[in-house]
Amino acid sequence: MSWKKEVKEISLRKKLALQQGGKEAIEIQHAKGRLTLRERIDLLLDKNSFEEVGKISGGIEHNDDGSIESFTPANFILGFGEINKRKVVIGGEDFTVKGGSPNAAGNRKSVYTEELAVQYKFPLVRLHEGGGGSVAGPSKEKKGYGGDPVFSKSRFKAVATSLKTIPVISAALGPVAGLPASRFVASHFRIMTKKTAQVLVAGPAVVSRAFGKEFTKEELGGSDIHKINGVVDNVADDEQDAFLQIKKFLSFMPQNIHEAPERISNSDPIDRVDEKLESIVPKDRRKTYEMREIIKSISDDNDFFEMTNYYGRGIITGFARLNGFSVGIFANDSNFYAGSMTADNAKKTSRFIKLCDQFNIPIISLVDEPGFLIGPEAEKDATILHGTEAVLAAVDSSVPWCSVLIRKSFGVGSAAHFGPESYVLAWPSSEAGPLPLEGGIAIAFGKEIAQAEDPESKRKEIEEKLSKSQSPFPRAEAFSVHEIIDPKETRKYLCSWIDKVQTSLLTKIHNP
């Protein structure tokens, strides 16, 4: 006597699971311009690397003779895989089964996703498309369900633990509402597709009922809304672009907080110079320039992966490599409020510093900071609160820092650009002090200027005289910066620095 019949049933159930929500549901998914979850997993992961967990979980109906009449798979697919030969845990809602709204088995698998990733200490990738619970009540698998026991732990506990332990990446690839939307934002890197994804607290039917007017999914939670409010970091043109960005982000990350990011060799010379950096900063303080050109110039192969471009636009954040080592770069963009620290800029700065610090990524700050934004709107936005939190995030970090003074470094806001024991370099274009020159002169010499025969000439005379005190040369003479450098040689100094800090970085990892 053998178990041949049971073995055959295992094979049948696996075959049925691959059918997902059925041929018609898959066709509808494709007609909307979206891939199925299994197609997404195959496209993102290295070929043949997916090892599914709980493949045959789901609901089953039997005929009178005990044979299978129908099988509804769990509408959450979960498993291990590899991205560029690195182990990950991957999971997501299967929209072809009940629109991704969790059935009993799907809910259990979704809750287990973070626990599995934390257990193995692998990065977690979530591919979201689906809704939360239904007002129709519990499914028939939970008939008479009255809630979880009082001693059960919150399903969000594992979510919180994962964020403290491993890189968590989430993609919104279709409509995402309720619990999946909450999981989506609980991530270190959040990306959504431009035309096919929406992230919502509640869908149009619920919102329209509550507010008495009609809304579309795009009006409530499209990419144009979430790219400027900080809900998403990046917007992808399509699903393939989203997967490329996920791979790029992951390439800068370690597997978990107990490791350093992998060094990736390249042939870009560490002493490469860029002539345009000598004149990229205008001598006229009123003129702006492109900070991203500086960032790309100093990075290996001129490659910079930017995050959260449309939110807090006065601050630029992202990742690059120097001599193969992963670094986090944040810098001021003088094209937006002169790069000053707005409330949104401060929130963006705090989150980025904490991300780099958590995952052992050294930070390079390219400083052109005029200070906290002032005015009634800035006060309404609690700029002093969020700006101070950014400063505290910087001084409380433990990874190595290098701060390069490009232009302005003024006020309390400038302190967000220097970590403990920062290696400080200064360009000859840099200037620093308690206040920007123009504002400080208006306060300190206002009466003298007003009483002058030619107030404008007097103002320029005072400005020219005082500008010498804010130049980097007196600071270098007082050893307030490590070096004043030729801007063309910035990459050489940074590559030398990143090589030297590797020992202290490893010490920080092994002796937190």
Residue reference for tokens 């409509």:
175
pLDDT of 133 over the 50 cut: yes
Do 208 and 291 belong to one domain? no
247 and 280 fall within a common domain: no
Residue 499 pLDDT greater than 50, yes or no: yes
Label residue 108 by pLDDT band (50, 70, 90).
confident
Say whether both 245 and 280 belong to one domain. no
Task: Say if residue 198 is in the same domain as residue 306.
Answer: no
The CATH number of the domain where 328 resides is what?
Answer: 3.90.226.10
What is the average pLDDT score of the chain? 89
Do 230 and 286 belong to one domain?
A: no
Tell me if 261 is assigned to some domain.
no
User: What is the domain count for the chain?
Assistant: 2
> Are 291 and 227 members of one domain?
no
Residue 118 has pLDDT above 50, yes or no: yes
**Position 441 confidence tier, pLDDT thresholds 50, 70, 90:** very low
**Mean pLDDT, residues 222-229 taken together:** 96
> Residue 432 is part of which domain span?
275-510
Q: Do residue 205 and residue 56 come from a single domain?
A: yes
The answer to whether residue 294 is domain-embedded is yes
> Quick one: average pLDDT of 52-69?
74
pLDDT range class, residue 437, cuts 50, 70, 90 = very low
Residue 259 lies in a domain: no
Q: How confident is the model at residue 446 (pLDDT cuts 50, 70, 90)?
A: low
Domain boundary among 235, 251, 267: 251
Q: Are 239 and 314 in contact (CB under 8 A)?
A: no
In this prediction, residue 138 carries a pLDDT of 46
For residues 283 and 153, which has the higher predicted lDDT (pLDDT)?
283
Do 306 and 234 have their domain in common? no
Same domain, 202 and 297: no
In a domain, 258, yes or no: no
Tokens of 86: 């690195």
Of the three residues 196, 219, 251, the one that is the final residue of a domain is 251
Q: Is residue 170 part of a domain?
A: yes
User: 263 in a domain, yes or no?
Assistant: no
- CA quadruple 476, 479, 485, 490: dihedral, nearest 10: -140
In a domain, 385, yes or no: yes
List, in sequence order, every beta strand (DSSP E) within 84-215.
Answer: 86-93, 124-130, 168-177, 189-193, 198-200
Q: Residue 443: its pLDDT value, please?
A: 47
In this prediction, residue 294 carries a pLDDT of 98
